[in-house]
Structure 1
Amino acid sequence: MNILELFNYAFFRNAIIGSLFASIACGIIGTYVVSRRLVFISGGITHASFGGLGIGFYFSLPPIISAMIFSIFSAFGIQWLSRKQGVREDSAIAVFWSLGMAIGIVLTFLTPGYAPNLSEYLFGNILTITVSDIIALIVLSIVLVMFFVLFYHEIISVSFDTEFARTRRIPTQFIEYTMMLFIAVTIVLSIRLVGIVLLMSLITVPQMTANLLTVNYHKIISLSVLFSFIGCVLGLFLSYYLKVPSGAFIIFVLILMYFLFKGVKNLMLRTSNRAITESIKQ
């Protein structure tokens, strides 16, 4: 079967469309996460969402909805413990990370009837994206774009120097808690792409790649969206032909892209330095 014939299948078209809007959301959120050095927090929220999945399975609730609610409370809980209760941030993350995983494991084990299929949540399966998932990602992407347009300068100020932003009377607390909300929602809605285990890479690796090419915040967002979408599409096609899990291969492609750009940049720097050295000698 050639590539064009794959588009005859609705599930494949859904996967491509879902990848596009997930890339937009992850590109925007991931840039904030990387610039604020919140990668560990995003990992904590990602793994804490497993507790919400367990609650959904046990009480026969929609797993994504319960995971989203649990993730939002975990995100706010991490923020509250570290800022208001004097708990170290890494300790607060560890509390909710382990709490979510523990609740998820216990409730999944206690769920009556057949054991739920956890593989698509843990490792992802982009081909299982539904129309409702796509609609949710579209709404999230639109809301994120609108929020960043309205508060772009405030977000940049908070991203790079929260204390300075506070002295400028920027509503730092509002920005921080709203962004934590968006991080949690983006993480949960993107679980189907690469799964809980690998999701942290989806919101960090494209941004790292973009940062090799520019330091401009707006350009990093744009390039992150582009790299995320390219990685998702290439990973999807290659995983189909190689008969390997799509989620893992998407991350593999993204990391390969990072090292490729890193290698090219290092080569260009060495060439430039060598040219400068030779011109000085002459």
Structure 2
Amino acid sequence: MEWTFIERGFTAALIIGLIAPLVGAVLAVRRSSIISESLSHVTLTGISAGVLLSQTVNMVSINPLYTGFVFALAGSLIIEKLRQTYSHFQELASPIILSAGVGVSAVLMSISPSGYGEWYDYLFGSIVSVTKEDLIFISVTAGVILLIFSLYSKEIKSVSFDQEFARVSGISTSHINFIFSLLVALVISMSMKVVGVLLVGALISLPVASAMQFAKSFKQLLGWSVLFGEFAVLIGVYTSYHFNIATGGMIVVILAVIMLAAVVLRKNSMLYRLLNR
């Protein structure tokens, strides 16, 4: 039975709403949330390259999801290398990659025969543009991410909370950092068709920011993050479809409202105690 475009879009969104906050929670613990923004702009460069190649080279048809992933992975490796090069100023790595990604993307978009319109769905997301191939890519990618998480959960958690202690304990921190960079690249590449590359960082970070108002442990942080992420994705996709609004933008607006509500509830001690009985 062939799925309709709305079924494909909802399924893809539910998968992304589960996976993105999980990776976002680890990024927050590592104090590295800005990396998602940097890699999303590098991913945009990959998308631009894929679209441009398909437009200008005869007999070449490339799914921009794949080129986006390749560029995101390359960007994550470059960030790790820059963090080693600027060991005393590691925070410089992300802005460098972000700026380069935006610059190259702008150049590639400007020379495209079709102008900027080709990139709208990739910039801001659209559930109606999710194809069967996209859904397969998203599903397989999510499975790979969950598998890696299950295999390296202890190591990732240890390196995230205390990298020096993890190194002394015999954990190869460089190996784990590479694996986690791969996870971030996978999340961004799988999310860009639904949320958009300019807004995927919000889906990674905002549910975690809301969850931090209630979570008392890392396990609770993961649970609350996924709950907020899925809720925002469901409402955002439904609203965007029925009112013809950009999917990614609607999801981010709902996430921002959730975060504001979480902050207000957290400050109201009575409501907070009721929610945490």
Q: TM-score, normalised by structure 1?
A: 0.86
* Aligned residue in 2 for 1:255: 256
1:32 aligns with 2:33: no
Deviation string, structure 1 residues 123-148 (Cα, Å, up to 9, x no partner): 11123222222222222222222222
- C-alpha separation in 2, matches of 1:132 and 1:87: 43
Q: Give the deviation of 1:16 after TM superposition.
A: 1.4
Q: What secondary structure sits across from 1:118 in the alignment?
A: helix
Counterpart residue identity of residue 25, structure 2: T
| Paired residues of 2:86 and 2:92 also in contact (CA < 8 A) | no
Q: What secondary structure sits across from 2:185 in the alignment?
A: helix
Correspondences of 1:186-265 after superposition (within 5 Å): 186-265=187-266
Number of corresponding residues? 265
- C-alpha separation in 2, matches of 1:133 and 1:152: 27
| Paired residues of 1:25 and 1:140 also in contact (CA < 8 A) | no
| Paired residues of 2:5 and 2:127 also in contact (CA < 8 A) | no
Quickly say closer, same or farther: Cα 1:158–1:86, change in 2 above 3 A.
closer
Deviation string, structure 1 residues 180-213 (Cα, Å, up to 9, x no partner): 0110121121012221222111001111122222
Counterpart residue identity of residue 158, structure 1: V
| Paired residues of 1:126 and 1:247 also in contact (CA < 8 A) | no
Q: What secondary structure sits across from 1:151 in the alignment?
A: helix
1:44 aligns with 2:38: yes
* Aligned residue in 2 for 1:68: 69
Deviation string, structure 1 residues 60-89 (Cα, Å, up to 9, x no partner): 232221111111111110111111454733
* Aligned residue in 2 for 1:99: 100
Bigger mean CA deviation after superposition, 205-214 or 80-89: 80-89
Quickly say closer, same or farther: Cα 1:105–1:166, change in 2 above 3 A.
same
* Aligned residue in 1 for 2:12: 18
Determine which of 57, 60, 68 is the counterpart of 2:51. Answer: 57
The answer for unaligned runs of 5 or more in structure 1 is 1-7, 273-282
- C-alpha separation in 1, matches of 2:23 and 2:271: 33
Deviation string, structure 1 residues 97-131 (Cα, Å, up to 9, x no partner): 12222222212222345655111111111232222
Q: Give the deviation of 1:169 after TM superposition.
A: 0.8
Q: What secondary structure sits across from 2:188 in the alignment?
A: helix
- C-alpha separation in 1, matches of 2:223 and 2:45: 33
- C-alpha separation in 1, matches of 2:32 and 2:134: 26
Identity among equivalent positions (%) equals 26
Q: Give the deviation of 1:219 after TM superposition.
A: 2.6
Any runs of at least 4 consecutive aligned residues in structure 1 with deviations exceeding 3 A, and if so which? 84-87, 112-116, 240-243, 269-272
Counterpart residue identity of residue 128, structure 2: L
Q: Which has the larger radius of gyration?
A: 1
Counterpart residue identity of residue 258, structure 2: M
- C-alpha separation in 2, matches of 1:36 and 1:207: 13
Bigger mean CA deviation after superposition, 175-184 or 120-129: 120-129
Quickly say closer, same or farther: Cα 1:261–1:86, change in 2 above 3 A.
closer
Q: Give the deviation of 1:271 after TM superposition.
A: 8.7
- C-alpha separation in 1, matches of 2:252 and 2:21: 14
| Paired residues of 2:45 and 2:105 also in contact (CA < 8 A) | yes
Q: TM-score, normalised by structure 2?
A: 0.88
The answer for unaligned runs of 5 or more in structure 2 is 55-61
- C-alpha separation in 2, matches of 1:88 and 1:26: 27
Deviation string, structure 1 residues 23-69 (Cα, Å, up to 9, x no partner): 22202211111111111111111112121122112222322211111
| Paired residues of 2:46 and 2:69 also in contact (CA < 8 A) | yes
Q: What secondary structure sits across from 1:152 in the alignment?
A: helix
Q: What secondary structure sits across from 1:214 in the alignment?
A: coil
Bigger mean CA deviation after superposition, 90-99 or 69-78: 90-99
